[in-house]
């Protein structure tokens, strides 16, 4: 609860140089402040608005011209000083509501048209403290979302565009990690290469299996171990010993020469049959021997055929073709490894072949001598076989490779290069998305996005709460404002008061109903706000808005209300209604301060207000500024009729020759004022008393009689005397002789006449 007890100091502000009102100028629950225009009413109302809103600019803007120091204000609130100095209040008093030109300009109109800002301000006015708090919270969320958007744009711009490969920042940051991304990029790149090389792929062969033939060890061992079973072992031994004595190649030489053997030796001519050795030769080199040597020669030819240079050369050609094929297909899919050293295999193959042939050739020199493959030969053959087996194992993987080649050949017929490129770019973007540095930039963006989404959720929740509140408050406000418009004698009412959500903020929309015709406030052509409501209507509407908004305040009983010139452009009847509403309001709030340049308006408030709760001040000109003092309202509330009546009564009580002519001149206006109040319909402004007396005489004895014959006669006699002292009925009125006894008699009779009704 707060009450402004007094204004202690007004310095360097507006018209106030350095004003300290006297102790008698303390404020009351109802304080009336009279001031002519330009003396400081608006300055005082701005001080209270600044006190309520803690807005120092409202005071600083009224820094007194020519003053060196800044404005300084001291108010006493609840017995304690509240000071404005150096642009700062020591504390604010939020429970102050101010009606002034600023309120009208912000909430109704600043001229003759309603602008969006008026409707936005009115929206807050209707909502009241609770609704404004919700609306402020909503607007803060809206502003916070805009800040999120600015931050998001900055964080999005920090992500290099070339890394996104055509994806939006949202899409890029939303990508999921892929542990197999490298393989997928490789495959996608190869599919693009395949699509670009479609003609070459169609013509390229698949992988042909090629492996070197192995040596048939069992067959070789069998060939080497063959001998002649029917040749005597002793003879065989003697022949072979003879061959050994002859030296290398002897058996072959002898074997070939046995064909020339006849009855005599081809070398000596002696009889062959006399030689036991020759006889053994003939047994040794039998037909079976010929078959054995032939078999050995065939074995050598077989080895040459299967493992000779042409076969090895063909293998080398196949290897080169295979490697070229692999290099080609490696550009389109993951071709299996083929790390076989063909040069090593070539060497191992030749070594094994030569070793085998050497073994066969040795056998052929002594066909009947059983042999086996030497350990060295077996080692060379096994080494070659191991390399061949390894190659065969590698070749097995290329069975699946041929299936992949078939798939690629089929796929290139249907692949869309542009679609493949998009897929490739997307995979590249996925890879870039999770690289060091980029990962942190994207996480920063996603964090801000999540924060924005959280704020949007809070905004939606707050908006929902505000909508529920507005759906309750706006119908109530429409009823209240139309009630006040009726009480203020307005010829119009409002309808369709509702809230409108716009990007710039919430606002209020409503229509004015005049003579059952609805005029929308947003109308710009035809009937509109500016051409259907007069200045007085707009003032009345502003008052209705203000009073209605006060009704919505939860702390109405603790509020201080400041009203600055509420009756601007109001007619007589609306002024009376306004006086009544102010008095009703003063009974409901803690304190009311009314400022006005109209003495008559303030007098009406004063006369109807409780005597123990009112005080009146005036702001008056003093030297080059303004000052504040107590205002004797009674002196300004006394009418001219009251003053004449008091003048006449004083003269009758104590005759004063100096006032005789003033008393005589006062008599006719007293009669005219009385008749005008008593008979307003029959004595309108401009009427003459003599004409009225004639009208009374015409109605004597009728239902519409005005004055009795006796009163009519008295009125004529009193009028005749009073006319002697007025310029329109007596040219010599200023010099007309006055008899004290006659004047006293006529004055007494007029007092009696005025008291008859």
pLDDT in tens, 177-191: 989 888 888 777 777
Kind of pairing, strands 614-622 and 30-35? Answer: parallel
User: Region 205-222: what's the mean pLDDT?
Assistant: 86
Exposed/middle/buried for residue 79 (C-beta within 10 Å: 0-12, 13-18, 19+): exposed
pLDDT at 231: 46
The average pLDDT across 548-568 equals 85
Shortest CA distance to 743 belongs to which of 652, 654, 679? Answer: 652
Helix (H, G, I), strand (E, B) or coil at 492: strand
**Residue 116 in this model has a pLDDT that exceeds 50:** yes
Question: What's residue 509's pLDDT?
Answer: 64
> What is residue 201's DSSP assignment?
H
Residue 111 confidence class, pLDDT cut points 50, 70, 90: very low
Helices (H) and strands (E) in the chain — how many of each? 29, 14
In the block, tokens 């290139």 appear at 412
- Residue 540's pLDDT is what? 81
Whether the Cβ atoms of residue 43 and residue 595 lie closer than 8 Å to each other = no
Q: Would you place residue 118 in the very low, low, confident or very high pLDDT band (cuts 50, 70, 90)?
A: very low
- Count of Cβ atoms closer than 10 Å to residue 340 Cβ: 19
Tokens of 568: 């601007």
Range of weakest confidence among 222-236, 339-353, 633-647: 222-236
pLDDT of residue 479: 80
Does pLDDT of 240 surpass 80? no
Single pTM value for the model: 0.51
Q: Does 640 have pLDDT greater than 80?
A: no
In sequence order, the β-bridge partners of residue 498 are: 509
Rounded Cα–Cα distance for residues 734 and 746 (Å): 18
> Across the chain, what does the average pLDDT equal?
81
Q: Supply the pLDDT for residue 725.
A: 92
Question: Is residue 251's pLDDT more than 70?
Answer: no
Q: Say which range, 322-331, 372-381, 441-450, 465-474, has the weakest mean pLDDT.
A: 465-474
Residue 119 binned pLDDT confidence (cut-offs 50, 70, 90): very low
Highest-confidence range of 114-118, 281-285, 336-340, 708-712, by mean pLDDT? 708-712
CA dist., res. 121 & res. 13, Å (int): 28
Mean pLDDT of 259-263: 59
Q: Is the pLDDT of residue 517 over 90?
A: no
Band (pLDDT 50/70/90 cuts) for residue 229 is: low
Residue that wins the pLDDT comparison between 610 and 569: 610
Choose between 64 and 493: higher pLDDT: 64
> Containing H/E element for 633?
helix 633-637
Higher pLDDT, 720 or 330: 720
pLDDT value for 351: 92
* pLDDT at residue 421, rounded to an integer: 77
Give the distance, in angstroms, between the CA of residue 713 and the centroid of all CA atoms in the same chain.
88
Mean of the pLDDT values across residues 230-254? 62
Choice among 24-28, 83-87, 366-370 with the minimum mean pLDDT: 366-370
The span from the CA of 265 to the CA of 257, in Å, is 10
Is 50 exceeded by the pLDDT of residue 112?
no
Domain regions of the chain by residue span: 198-227+286-432, 231-285, 638-754
* Among 50-64, 314-328, 571-585, the range of highest mean pLDDT: 50-64
Closest CA to 551 of 467, 468, 473: 473
Q: In what order do the strands lie in the sheet with 492-502?
A: 492-502, 505-514, 517-520
pLDDT at residue 515 above 50?
Answer: yes
- 232 vs 617: CA distance, rounded Å: 165
C-beta of residue 12 within 8 angstroms of C-beta of residue 69: yes
690-704 pLDDT, tens digit each:
999 999 999 998 888
Distances (CA, A) of 317 to 342, 344, 570: 11, 15, 116
For residue 430, the Cα-to-chain-centroid distance in whole angstroms is: 28
pLDDT band at residue 354, thresholds of 50, 70 and 90? very high
Positive or negative torsion for Cα 703, 707, 711, 713: negative
Predicted confidence band of residue 149 (pLDDT cuts 50, 70, 90):
very high
Alpha-carbon separation of residue 109 from 106, 176, 430, 492 (angstroms):
6, 57, 58, 17
Rounded Cα gap, residues 70 and 92, in angstroms: 19
Using the predicted structure, report yes or no on whether residue 54 has a pLDDT greater than 50: yes
Please compute the mean of the pLDDT values over residues 287-294 and round it to a whole number: 72
Gap between the Cα atoms of 84 and 74, Å rounded: 6
Q: Is the pLDDT of residue 549 over 70?
A: yes
Share of the chain above pLDDT 90, in %: 28
């Amino acid at each position: 609860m707060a009450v402004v007890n007094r204004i202690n100091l007004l310095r360097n502000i507006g018209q106030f140089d350095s004003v300290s009102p006297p102790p008698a100028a303390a404020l009351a629950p109802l304080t009336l402040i009279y001031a002519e225009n330009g003396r400081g009413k608006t300055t005082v109302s701005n001080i209270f608005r600044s006190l309520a809103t803690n807005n120092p600019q409202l005071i600083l803007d009224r820094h007194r011209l020519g003053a060196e120091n800044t404005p300084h204000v001291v108010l006493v609130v609840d017995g304690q000083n509240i000071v404005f100095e150096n642009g700062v209040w020591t504390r604010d008093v939020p429970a102050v509501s101010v009606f002034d030109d600023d309120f009208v300009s912000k909430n109704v109109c600043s001229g003759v048209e309603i602008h969006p800002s008026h409707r936005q301000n009115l929206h807050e006015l209707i909502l009241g403290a609770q609704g404004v708090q919700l609306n402020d919270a909503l607007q803060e969320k809206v502003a916070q979302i805009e800040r999120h958007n600015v931050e998001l744009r900055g964080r999005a711009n920090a992500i290099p565009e070339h890394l996104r490969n055509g994806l939006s920042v949202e899409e890029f940051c939303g990508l999921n990690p892929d542990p197999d991304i490298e393989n997928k990029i490789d495959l996608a790149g190869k599919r693009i290469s395949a699509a670009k090389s479609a003609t070459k792929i169609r013509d390229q062969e698949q992988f042909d299996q090629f492996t070197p033939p192995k040596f048939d060890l069992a067959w070789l061992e069998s060939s080497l171990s063959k001998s002649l079973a029917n040749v005597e072992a002793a003879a065989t031994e003697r022949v072979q010993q003879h061959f050994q004595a002859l030296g290398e190649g002897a058996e072959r030489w002898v074997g070939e020469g046995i064909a020339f053997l006849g009855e005599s030796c081809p070398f000596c001519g002696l009889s062959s049959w006399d030689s036991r050795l020759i006889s053994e030769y003939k047994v040794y080199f039998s037909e079976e021997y010929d078959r054995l040597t032939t078999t050995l020669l065939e074995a050598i030819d077989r080895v040459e055929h299967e493992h000779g240079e042409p076969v090895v050369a063909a293998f080398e050609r196949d290897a080169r073709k295979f490697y070229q094929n692999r290099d080609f297909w490696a550009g389109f899919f993951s071709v299996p490894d083929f790390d076989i050293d063909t040069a090593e295999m070539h060497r191992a193959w030749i070594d094994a072949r030569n070793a085998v042939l050497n073994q066969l050739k040795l056998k052929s020199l002594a066909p009947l001598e059983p042999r086996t493959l030497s350990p060295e030969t077996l080692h060379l053959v096994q080494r070659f076989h191991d390399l061949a087996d390894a190659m065969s194992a590698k070749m097995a993987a290329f069975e699946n490779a041929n299936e992949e080649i078939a798939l690629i050949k089929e796929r290139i017929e249907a692949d869309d290069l542009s679609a493949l490129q998009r897929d490739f770019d997307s995979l590249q973007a996925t890879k870039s998305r999770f690289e060091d540095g980029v990962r942190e930039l994207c996480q920063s963006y996603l964090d801000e996005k999540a924060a924005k989404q959280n704020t949007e959720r809070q905004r939606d929740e707050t908006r929902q709460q505000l909508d529920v509140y507005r759906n309750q408050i706006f119908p109530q406000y429409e009823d209240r404002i139309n009630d006040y418009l009726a009480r203020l004698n307005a010829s119009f009412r409002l309808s369709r008061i509702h809230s409108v959500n716009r990007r710039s903020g919430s606002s209020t929309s409503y229509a004015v109903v005049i003579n059952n015709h609805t005029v929308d406030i947003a109308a710009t052509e035809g009937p509109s706000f500016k051409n259907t409501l007069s200045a007085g209507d707009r003032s009345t509407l502003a008052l209705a808005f203000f009073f209605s908004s006060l009704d919505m305040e939860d702390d109405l009983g603790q509020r201080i209300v400041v009203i600055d010139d509420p009756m601007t452009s109001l007619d007589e009847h609306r002024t009376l209604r306004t006086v009544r509403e102010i008095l009703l309001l003063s009974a409901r709030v803690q304190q009311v301060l009314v400022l006005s340049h109209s003495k008559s308006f303030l007098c009406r408030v004063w006369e109807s207000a409780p005597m123990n709760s009112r005080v009146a001040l005036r702001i008056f000109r003093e030297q080059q500024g303004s000052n504040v003092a107590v205002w004797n309202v009674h002196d300004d509330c006394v009418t001219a009729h009251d003053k004449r009546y008091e003048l006449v009564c004083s003269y009758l009580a104590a005759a004063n020759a100096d006032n005789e002519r003033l008393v005589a001149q006062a008599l006719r206006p007293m009669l005219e004022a009385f008749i005008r109040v008593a008979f307003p319909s029959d004595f309108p402004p401009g009427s003459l008393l003599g004409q009225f007396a004639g009208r009374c005489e015409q109605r004597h004895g009728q239902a519409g009689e005005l004055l009795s014959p006796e009163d009519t006669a008295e009125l004529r006699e009193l009028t005749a005397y009073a006319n002697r002292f007025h310029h329109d009925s007596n040219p010599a009125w200023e010099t007309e002789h006055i008899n004290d006894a006659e004047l006293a008699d006529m004055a007494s009779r007029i007092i009696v006449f005025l008291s008859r009704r």
